[in-house]
Chain A
Amino acid sequence: MIPAIMTAGAVAGCLGALLGIGGGVFLIPFLNVGLGLELPIAAGISLMTVIATSSIVAAGSANRQVINLRLGILLQIPAVAGGLIGAEGVDALSAQALSMIFACVTGIIALVMLTRLDRRNVILDDSTEPGRLGGRYYEAESGRRVVYRLRRLPAALGISFSGGILSGLLGVGGGILQVPALNAWCGVPMRAAAATTAAMIGVTALGSAPIYYSRGRIIAPLAAAAVLGVLAGSRAGMWISPRARARWLKLLMAAVLAMVSITYFYKASTL
């Protein structure tokens, strides 16, 4: 079981760093459906990999100019509160309800990504003022410095709170909601949304991980194997990220989420 979890962690870490969503959404189906671990146990292990992915992204030098730390920490205020609520509420929900929530969330996010494939959100005029929560960075696709401005701050805060609840309930890391929502509704380019979220979701996961740990839901050898896999995989994801086209990143994310959604609808219907 340990080598299989390590390999799954590497794949999840690569995709997680690439897409800024922590990798938990890929690891949980493997642990839960593939290996038969209970969803809260899979969630506990996943939370550890989310923290590891985030720590590696934040400690690395890649994508540093794209990370918007001010926006990231602001979004952590509702996200951590949501994480605490989710972790405290997980016992109140049945395995079928948790599976159904997982299926619905992944399905909706896949649809959002597919309908917003060409939304870049960048302003090519470098002299435009980005505002207190926007940003400016060099974009390889257009070969120049681009600017973006944050729109709909209340929506961004609400989504972060919901992402935190999901992180606490399912261990997926808040990025699964934050990245597509920041990109589709709040005017943040995909690359900036992914890099900022990837650097900050470790804090979101910390909103629920200590509670999972204290309840014995983090099996140390399995979590260690998954984290070691993630350490290797996320390095690969960080290398690929600046070289990948945003459109392909979105397509990849939508395809994987759609598969996960179908798997969990099926699982919920058979419980």
Chain B
Amino acid sequence: MTPQPGDLEHRFRWLSVAVVILFGAAFAVGLVFYALDQDSRAAGVLLHAGLLLLMAAPGVRMAIASADRLHRRDWTFLAMTSIVVLELAIVVWRATAR
């Protein structure tokens, strides 16, 4: 049957929601500052913080799902997730190496 999210994933779903709220709030406040002054330092900091939080969101979800699967000893899922995490580490390395 379709593997369903377990208790742990349900319990920590708030964390995924919190990340969405945080980057949404950073973008909203940042855009207000930007509308008032396009050269505002606060706007730049908030908008870029929002972008970084947004890019962190899938990682947070994967971490929660992995913790859940670890709890349920789903080694196949964990092995597949590990490969994806390794690929993402290479992406970050390529991005920061410039």
Contact = CB atoms under 8 A, between A and B. Distances in A.
Contacts of A210: 55, 91-92, 94-96
Residues of A contacting B: mostly:
helix
Interface in B43-98: 43-44, 47-48, 50-51, 54-55, 57-59, 61-62, 65, 76-77, 80-81, 83-84, 87-88, 90-92, 94-96, 98
Interface in A54-68: 54-56, 58-59, 64-68
Contacts, number: 148
Interface in A199-223: 202-203, 205-211, 213-215, 218, 220-221, 223
A130 B20 CA distance: 33
What is the predominant secondary structure among interface residues of chain B facing chain A? helix
Task: Give the bracket for the number of chain A residues in contact with chain B.
Answer: 35 or more
Given A218-B51, A221-B34, A224-B31, A84 B98 contact: no
B83 to A, nearest CB: 5
B62 A209 contact: no
Nearest to A199: B61
Contact of B3 (A56, A70, A206): A70
B17 interface: yes
A220 B47 contact: yes
B90 A84 contact: yes
Contact of B50 (A73, A76, A209, A224): A224
Nearest to B17: A59
A52 interface: yes
B51 A208 contact: no
Nearest to B74: A70
Nearest to B80: A73
B93 to A, nearest CB: 9
B16 A228 contact: no
A90 interface: no
Given A64-B5, A77-B84, A220-B51, A203 B91 contact: no
Interface string A41-60: 00000001001101110110
A228 B95 contact: no
Contacts of B83: 77
A220 B84 CA distance: 27
A224 B32 CA distance: 11
B1 interface: yes
Interface of B: 1-5, 13, 16-17, 19-20, 23-24, 27-28, 30-31, 34-35, 43-44, 47-48, 50-51, 54-55, 57-59, 61-62, 65, 76-77, 80-81, 83-84, 87-88, 90-92, 94-96, 98
